[in-house]
Homo-oligomer: A and B are copies of this chain.
Amino acid sequence: MKKNKFKSIGILCRPGDKTIEATVHTLSDIITTFGSEVRFDATSTLGFNLNAAQQVDREVLGKNSDLLVIVGGDGTLLDAARTMNQYHIPMVGVNLGRLGFLVDVLPNDISELIPQILSGEYMSEPRIMLELNIKDKDGINTSSLALNDIVVHKTNVARMIEFEVFINDSYVYTQRSDGLIIATPTGSTAYALSGGGPILHPSLEAISLVPICPHTLSNRPIAVDANAQIEIKRIKGQFDNFQISCDGQVNHIVENTEQVTIKMHQHKLQLLHPTNYDYYQLLRAKLNWAAQHYTNG
């Protein structure tokens, strides 16, 4: 038997249905057979037929795992990255039958691929994350992480919002738009792509700024070095009708906010893939690049 690289595995999944429970059981058996110990995220496995002693809260999970296996869709992994990255544990994603950009182990391949990964045969890919910092008028700071994107957008109104953007303290522009998507390479194939942003290869340490329906047509997407610090400033008075969301999962109302800054988080997510991982193959599959839309000859 191969050498066991990861002794202690945490499993975190999309809260849910029986399909997931079956996959979690299979995973657990494979990992145990391989000689590693398993813990489950209590919240997301609530109601599953598991050994209650192994169902722990996220803090215990984080502190006691060498590797997190995420079962679900890309959204499940986004959530895990945001909440568990502080424990500096690598993550690998198992999807539920539909290939994701992040969760790329198919259920049918678990029994082959998970032992490989546990024995050290994998590709490790660092993914940058973003950190949102909000300082309100009372001096209170709030911060929040994102693996895909941080989006400043209008809420509750039909009209555009208007704000100033600074990068490394340089004034960039005053933007009137529905909002601004600030995306990592990981997020560049998500919402930012719908907004007209470029695909950024994960190995490129860059952040893209993608305006949503900008009033000025030449306000095109910009990519900057990931070390850039981005600041969003209100024009006057307050950030009325502004909302800031992280990965589309956590929302901040910023009416009482004084300062909004976004920068690369100091810790990258270590995302593990099977050794045959091929980013461009994933793009081709997810974006239907083989599609033949029309012929004109």
A residues neighboring B (CB under 8 Å): 73-75, 78, 98, 100-101, 148, 151, 153, 155-159, 167, 170-174, 177-178, 189-191, 193-201, 203-204, 206, 208, 212-225, 228, 243, 245, 247-249, 251, 278-281, 283-284, 286-297
The interface residues of chain B lying within 8 Å CB-to-CB of A286 are: 293-294
Asked if A289 meets B204 with Cβ closer than 8 Å, knowing A178-B178, A191-B213, A251-B158, the reply is no
Q: How far is the CA of A208 from the CA of B101 in the complex (A)?
A: 21
Q: CB distance B198 to A208 under 8 Å?
A: yes
Smallest CB gap from A196: residue in B:
B196
Asked if A218 meets B289 with Cβ closer than 8 Å, knowing A167-B280, A245-B158, the reply is yes
A134 CB to closest chain B CB (Å) equals: 15
Q: CB distance A194 to B173 under 8 Å?
A: no
Asked if A296 meets B199 with Cβ closer than 8 Å, knowing A159-B248, A170-B280, the reply is no
Q: CB distance B223 to A148 under 8 Å?
A: no
Main secondary structure of the interface of A (DSSP, over half): loop
The interface residues of chain B lying within 8 Å CB-to-CB of A206 are: 204, 206, 223
11 contacts between A and B (CB under 8 A): A101-B294, A155-B155, A173-B283, A173-B284, A178-B194, A193-B220, A198-B222, A200-B222, A203-B225, A216-B289, A288-B293
Give the 4 A-B residue pairs with the shortest CB-CB distance, closest first.
A158-B245, A198-B198, A194-B213, A218-B287
From B155, B218, B225, contact of A204 by CB (8 A)? B225
The interface residues of chain B lying within 8 Å CB-to-CB of A193 are: 217, 220, 293-294
Q: CB distance B222 to A148 under 8 Å?
A: no
Q: CB distance A296 to B248 under 8 Å?
A: yes
A128 CB to closest chain B CB (Å) equals: 13
Q: CB distance A248 to B218 under 8 Å?
A: no
Q: How far is the CA of A173 from the CA of B296 in the complex (A)?
A: 20
Question: Which interface residue of A171, A215, A293 has the most chain B CB atoms within 10 A?
Answer: A293
Asked if A178 meets B220 with Cβ closer than 8 Å, knowing A170-B280, A251-B158, A294-B74, the reply is no
Asked if A296 meets B225 with Cβ closer than 8 Å, knowing A158-B151, A158-B243, A206-B204, the reply is no
